[in-house]
Amino acid sequence: MTDFSNLIPKQEMERLSNLIRQWDHAYYVLDESSVSDFEYDQAVLRLRALEEEFPELKDPRSPTGEVSGYADVAFSEVRHNYPMQSLDNAFSKEELEAWFKRIGADLDRKRLVFELKIDGLAMSLTYRSGVLVRAATRGDGMVGEDVTANVMAIDAVPKVLANSDIQELEVRGEIYMPLSSFQRHNDAAIAKLSDYQGSAVDRPKVFANPRNAASGSLRVKDPSVTRDRGLAFFAYQIGNEPQDITDSHFESLQLLGRLGFSVNPNIRLIDDVDDIFSLLAEWEKNRHSLDYDIDGAVIKVDSFSERARMGSTSRAPRWAIAYKYPPEEKTTLLEDILVSIGKTGRATPFAKMTPVFVGGSEVAMATLHNEDQVRAKDLRVGDIVRLRKAGDVIPEVMGPVLAMRSEELVEWEFPKVCPECGSELRRDEGDAGHYCINYRCPAQAVARMVHFASRPALDIEGLGETIVKRLYDLGLVADVADIYRLDYDRLISLERFGEKSVKTLLQAIERSKTAPLNRFLVGLTIGHVGSVAADALASRFGSLEQLRAASVEEISEVEGIGPIIARSVVDFFAHDTTIDLLDRMLQSGVSPTVIERRESYSGALSGLTVVVTGGVEGFSRDGITQAIKDVGGKAATSVSAKTTFVVVGESPGASKLKKAQELSIRLVDGASFGRLLSGEISIDELEDNVL
């Protein structure tokens, strides 16, 4: 009689083994992510649990006993002198504590090293007499790929070591693509795709994530392509008998730094396990302040002699463990791709998805930016897609899970007509966006009024999107001029409009009539005119009447205003619709004014360029920018050699601080800077508050 008792576990183990091998092939050979790291790890854990429960069913070739990875046959094979093993993972404090217990972590005797887990590609570099002679990928742990020619093209990898008298040295580390390089590459690739007419082989490649980008950049046949990708390298260990040099892993990393390698600056030598949990919490919170992706941390025993005593399993050392952060990338169903119409008529595609919890909140929609982005990522309605939060805030669809795509799914086509008014959606040559050509499109009209009332523009409290949409649907407003025709009797008769809310709204509308000219110009939705251009135009022409009468040549003479903006301004004010709109606003008492400088400390920052990072008490983001301008300063958004000083407020950005330190730019305390803007202290007194 046949025994079926183990049939279901055996089938499940075979299914998981096959899936993991498929995912490994896609990840390590094709540079594609078929599933999220979390789903991959969970499959491995499930398979390992089944193998422990049913050891008699375990396949000797199970992926749980192997190092993940392959040596691509397109490259020459390299056999590692010392295996490049994987690491066991911990996903919780309890699992990490269990590892501490297993290794017998008596920290009076056994110090640990904390390292960030860089999401890149493991690399082995061999130096003879201080000269780089070979670079190889990890591959399957025993045999990797010879990528020496490509690694030679990476500026961040030392080719000749500084002051090295070591005959042969193997250095292991992580090749990665900085997030800035990743964004720069994808932006350029998407721009090229808009008018690409070449073959599929040469088609500009848009990468799904920085890890795939780094791996793919090392597998191209032309090293010059690798050079242009902007890859970087962190050394994380000596691969060959490091105890011949020192018994301390931490000291060996310091040696690598002296030899010219880039070693991650956030590595810490630990004497108290509580410090590890503090560091894990700190970096989980601040992981997006870095210019590279991390997915956790690695904890290692510092002593090489202790490591030798502890040994390894067939796939992983017992003296190290990787702590993985909770997944920030999830998968969900792409239910539809819809199009929204903005204040300028721009048609922006966005994803409608089955709601999924990611990065601390539920996400059901995410922008897809434009047609080129959708095509580059090959998104199709019905796909299972990978979703993350860019910068831990903005939902971003990374791409489809191709292994789960149905053959019935078809390519998405950008609609020909506006979904709001049925007018033509037009895309001009050289422009990535589609636009609704109907100026009176309901979606455009509502969006323009919402923008007009927003904080960067006229700041009309109580006139948000919901109220504007309701007033529009009731026929009470059709454009921004109609806002100034609203009165008490019209509003108080509406359901859910109480006396207090009506009075508050009408008072805000009345105040906006004499708003500064620069904010008024921002609110008008003039093509190419944002806050910077509006400031320059308001300062130069002084009044709305003079600006309306100005020529293209006169406007082009304004510093920071080019011919494209100048032509856009002149065309806007010459249009019949604009003339009618402004005439009706002026008849309603609208009279924009030029910003008046506060005499008590006018010009306190005259000629100075200031960058603010983090929050400053008493000021909103827009408010502090305006306050800097009010006292003659220039509020910049990025740190450069022209920056006078950087204001450091609450929760500052690490990248701006790092750049300021590299350029030796002063760091000023946010609280004292707020006192300067409030007139409590002078700039001379600010000198005493440098951090």
CB atoms within 10 A of CB 612: 24
Who contacts 135 (Cβ-Cβ below 8 Å, separation ≥6)?
123, 124, 125, 126, 146, 147, 148, 150, 151, 152, 157
- What span, in angstroms and rounded, lies between the C-alpha atoms of 450 and 132? 60
Residue positions counted in the chain = 691
SS3 content of the chain, % helix, strand, coil (to 5): 40, 20, 40
Q: Which residues are catalytic?
A: 117
Q: How far apart are CA 226 and CA 211, in angstroms?
A: 14
SS3 state at 451:
helix
Longest dimension (CA), the chain: 100
Give the integer Cα–Cα distance in Å for 596 and 486: 29
How far apart are alpha carbons 595 and 542 in whole angstroms?
9
Partnered with residue 417 across adjacent β-strands are: 424
Q: What Rg, from alpha-carbon coordinates, does the chain have?
A: 30
Per-position DSSP letters for 423-443, written without gaps between them: PBEE--TT-S-EEE--TT-HH
Contacts 24+ apart (CB under 8 A), 37-42: 37/295, 37/324, 37/327, 37/329, 38/326, 38/327, 38/329, 38/330, 39/331, 41/89, 41/91, 41/324
Assigned token pair, 468: 């504007």
Q: Which two tokens stand for residue 208?
A: 């799904």
Spell out the alpha helix ranges (H) of 123-237. Answer: 148-151, 179-193, 210-218, 223-228
Helix (H/G/I), strand (E/B), else coil: 545: helix
